[in-house]
């Protein structure tokens, strides 16, 4: 099975005629910010690690390119570039110069079906039919046919084999031709060379009335290679099906309400912020927005995992991908389609497929030296056997076998297939990766740090009581809190009702809100921020203070309930030898109360964002690799500095951007589940490497020694890749009960050495 199979999932327009059309290339690019654009192109001839490295290296040499990343499964390259530094056409020229075709993507291509699969199936069918017929003639020859009959059957086999090799071998020849045209080598060059040499040798033997010809081997070789390639394509498509299915959830068209109240159906990519959109019953919400009229039930299962519908009305926010179940709604678009929830989730999934992990870099280096080494090894085999035996016929057959058997497809597939399958499994559990390298880092952790509010607690505190000040100051504090997304601020506003937001209020990360008004400085937030640290309050709840000119004038107490699954999650992680740290900016009393409730020994309180950062740095210096789980603005520095980090989708934007994983469902079960999948992925990658290395250690020496025919080489090479792929796909069918929990049998008088290991059921809901 070759790793260089063409696999363009979208139909495309050849960009050859547009190589000098900068205006068109800029028009199809997406403007990001500060003169930066993003251009996405199809590269149908790339999939192996060596091909990816060539394209990325060629693009990264351009001064205008900020980042270039090839998606191995989607056969696409995404380039972020600065338009003012050079011509956009230099990007396409660099790709072509590196030896690969490139195309403009057609956004409606998915409607036309999988053209690559259709081509592969047709080629496979033709090769299989021809191989079967040629084999019948070969059996007759092997059975002792007369020389005249033998020559006739050889010529009939040639008439069948020549057009079949020309037609069915096109996927290999195209890739090899484009590589050679640009003075490059890829994995399809030796494969194409082996097939053509086998055919030419057979024709030569037939012309000379030799007793042996190898038309059956040439066509059967092609047949087995196509079986491997087709299975590779199908398995890749299955592995990344979650990304495609997620992308298809977004409607292609949306009904916009014009200023004159007229209706117009437009493409989703034409939606702009501020547009009014009409969402009928049964339709999906196209972009993130806010309801301005109508009442309906919406299905949030994609976003939160909750199966129960939620009623929404005027003023409520909705995310793209949710389904309107009952009544008609009118909403205002708050984000364009490219920045919507669905688009972010697709981007996170695709990032997992094109990441540069440590193991993948090893595979890249191995693949980069593959082609020249294979050709030298094949040449050495040819010359060695030729001079040693004088039989150049046998030397040629052995050289062809070496060309085929040494294809490092299994090595190239070892990492990406495992990570794509793992990413799909995490997606089904509502967990997205910002970078595929994160899954490798998550498997390495040996300590976990949790934030308190919104992470171990529900993040929906309830106003309990006012502990200082009067009602007027409470209204003042609520008005100031209306400019913040902090859970305590929301609870304070809710306890008052309607408030008027105060202009000029700014949020100080980890401390609170500040505003200058009529010469006075008002602050709402932590005790030290409001100079209230010396006020003694007997309360198990969390307190927020209001100060005027550094003098505390009001205080408010809140209660935030612990998550139902928090205790079980902490117990499960501790039983699997993960020490737990609780890092909170809250007061000592509520932090210690929560720590005692869910059995956390190391609880740190009254921490600023810098204190959290320092705590993680201190632990890291001791050699620990920490997973940080948090959701607030004040957690962002800690999320960034941790070895790997997780945040809920409800977290503040800065927190989501800092985290490596984002879980969309309101449950801490995502933490042990993600760790379990990461560890399984790490084991699978190691197994894949072991399988690939074992195959090469056995097959290559046998081929060099002349113990492998070209047909057997094709079977062995395809089988090795299929085994690696199936080994990765095992993660698709495994149980969620992966982490083992050590639990003492409290009903029996046994000692600590006889702890039983029982499987803990993960509560991650099904997609």
Give the residue numbers annotated as catalytic, written as ranges.
Answer: 451
Q: Whose CA is closest to 512, among 492, 476, 488? A: 488
Q: Please, what is the angle between helix 670-704 and helix 392-405, to 10°?
A: 180
Q: Which two tokens stand for residue 562?
A: 């612990």
Displacement of CA 165 from its chain's centroid (Å): 37
DSSP string over 205-261: HHHTT-S---HHHHHHHHHHHHHHHHHHHHHHHHHTHHHHHHHHTS-SEEEEE-TTS
Lay out the sheet containing 310-312: strands in order across.
310-312, 296-299, 323-324
Q: Which two tokens stand for residue 553?
A: 């004038």
Residues with Cβ < 8 Å from 409, sequence gap 6 or more? 1, 2, 3, 48, 187, 228, 232, 717, 720, 721
What 8-state DSSP symbol labels residue 760? P
Q: Whose CA is closest to 632, among 537, 508, 742, 715? A: 508
3-state secondary structure of 469: coil
Residues with Cβ < 8 Å from 275, sequence gap 6 or more? 256, 257, 332, 333
Query: First and final CA of the chain: distance in angstroms?
Result: 32
DSSP bridge partners of 547: 523, 552
For the chain, the C-alpha Rg in angstroms (whole number) is 32
Alpha helices per DSSP H over 65-169: 89-97, 115-142, 147-168
Q: Which residue has the tokens 């309050």?
A: 537
Q: Whose CA is closest to 52, among 718, 60, 474? A: 60
Residues with Cβ < 8 Å from 676, sequence gap 6 or more? 736, 738, 739, 762
């Amino acid at each position: 099975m070759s790793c260089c199979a063409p696999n363009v999932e979208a139909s495309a327009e050849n960009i050859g005629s547009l190589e000098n059309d900068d205006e068109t290339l800029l028009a199809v690019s997406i403007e990001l910010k500060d003169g930066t654009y993003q251009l996405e192109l199809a590269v149908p001839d790339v999939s192996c690690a060596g091909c990816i490295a060539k394209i990325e290296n060629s693009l990264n040499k351009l001064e205008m390119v900020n980042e270039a990343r090839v998606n191995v499964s989607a056969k696409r390259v995404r380039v972020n570039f600065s338009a003012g530094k050079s011509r956009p056409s230099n990007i396409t020229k660099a790709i072509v110069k590196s030896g690969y075709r490139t195309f403009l993507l057609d956004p409606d291509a998915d409607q036309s079906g999988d053209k690559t699969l259709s081509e592969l199936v047709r080629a496979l069918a033709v090769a299989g039919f021809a191989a079967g017929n040629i084999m019948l003639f070969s059996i007759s020859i092997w059975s002792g046919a007369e020389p005249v009959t033998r020559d006739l059957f050889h010529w009939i086999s040639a008439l069948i084999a020549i057009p079949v090799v020309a037609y069915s071998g096109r996927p290999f020849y195209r890739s090899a031709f484009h590589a050679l045209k640009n003075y490059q080598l890829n994995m399809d060059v030796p494969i194409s060379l082996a097939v053509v040499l086998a055919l030419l040798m057979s024709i030569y033997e037939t012309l000379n009335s030799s007793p042996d010809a190898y038309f059956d081997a040439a066509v059967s070789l092609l047949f087995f290679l196509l079986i491997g390639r087709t299975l590779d394509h199908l398995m890749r498509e299955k592995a990344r099906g979650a990304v495609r299915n997620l992308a298809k959830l977004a409607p292609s068209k949306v009904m916009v309400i014009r200023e004159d109240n007229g209706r117009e159906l437009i493409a989703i990519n034409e939606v702009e912020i501020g547009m009014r959109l009409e969402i009928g019953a049964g339709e999906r919400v196209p972009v993130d927005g806010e309801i301005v009229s109508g009442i309906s039930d919406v299905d949030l299962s994609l976003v939160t995992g909750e199966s129960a519908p939620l009623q929404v009305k005027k003023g409520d926010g909705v995310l793209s991908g949710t389904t309107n179940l009952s009544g008609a709604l009118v909403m205002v678009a708050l984000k364009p389609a490219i920045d919507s929830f669905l688009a972010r989730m697709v981007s996170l999934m695709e990032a997992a497929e094109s990441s540069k992990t440590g193991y993948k870099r090893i595979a890249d280096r191995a693949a980069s030296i593959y082609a020249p080494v294979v050709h030298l090894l094949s040449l050495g085999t040819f010359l060695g056997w030729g001079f040693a035996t004088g039989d150049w016929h046998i030397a040629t057959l052995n050289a062809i076998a070496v060309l085929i058997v040494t294809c490092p497809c299994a090595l190239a597939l070892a990492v990406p297939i495992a990570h794509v399958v793992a990413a799909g499994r995490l997606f089904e559990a509502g967990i997205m990766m910002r970078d595929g390298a994160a899954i490798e880092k998550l498997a390495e952790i040996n300590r976990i740090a949790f934030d308190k509010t919104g992470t171990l607690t529900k993040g929906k505190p309830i106003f309990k009581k006012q502990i200082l000040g009067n009602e007027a100051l409470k209204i003042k504090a609520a008005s100031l809190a209306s400019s913040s997304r902090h859970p305590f601020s929301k609870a304070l506003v809710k306890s008052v009702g309607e408030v008027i937001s105060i202009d000029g209020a700014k949020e100080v990360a980890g401390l609170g809100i500040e505003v200058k008004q009529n010469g006075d400085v008002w602050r709402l937030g932590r005790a030290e921020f409001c100079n209230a640290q010396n006020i003694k309050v007997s309360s198990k709840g969390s307190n927020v203070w209001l100060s005027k000119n550094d003098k505390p004038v009001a205080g408010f107490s809140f209660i935030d309930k612990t998550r139902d699954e928090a205790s079980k999650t902490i117990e499960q992680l501790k039983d699997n030898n993960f020490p737990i740290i609780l890092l909170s900016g809250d007061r000592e009393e509520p932090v210690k109360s929560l720590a005692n409730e869910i059995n956390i020994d190391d609880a740190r309180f009254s921490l600023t964002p810098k204190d959290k950062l320092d705590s993680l740095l201190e632990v890291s210096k001791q050699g620990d690799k920490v997973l940080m789980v948090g959701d607030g603005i004040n957690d962002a520095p800690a999320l960034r500095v941790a070895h790997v980090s997780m945040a809920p989708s409800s977290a503040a934007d800065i927190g989501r951007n800092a985290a490596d994983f984002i879980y969309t469902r309101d449950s801490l079960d995502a933490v042990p589940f993600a760790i379990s999948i990461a560890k399984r992925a790490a084991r699978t990658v190691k197994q894949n490497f072991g399988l690939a290395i074992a195959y090469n250690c056995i097959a290559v020496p046998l081929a060099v020694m002349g113990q492998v025919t070209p047909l057997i080489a094709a079977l062995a090479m395809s089988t090795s890749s299929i085994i690696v792929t199936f080994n990765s796909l095992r993660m698709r069918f495994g149980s969620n009960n992966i982490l083992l929990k050590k639990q003492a049998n409290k009903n029996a008088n046994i000692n600590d050495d006889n702890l039983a290991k029982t499987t803990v059921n993960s509560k991650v809901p099904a997609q």
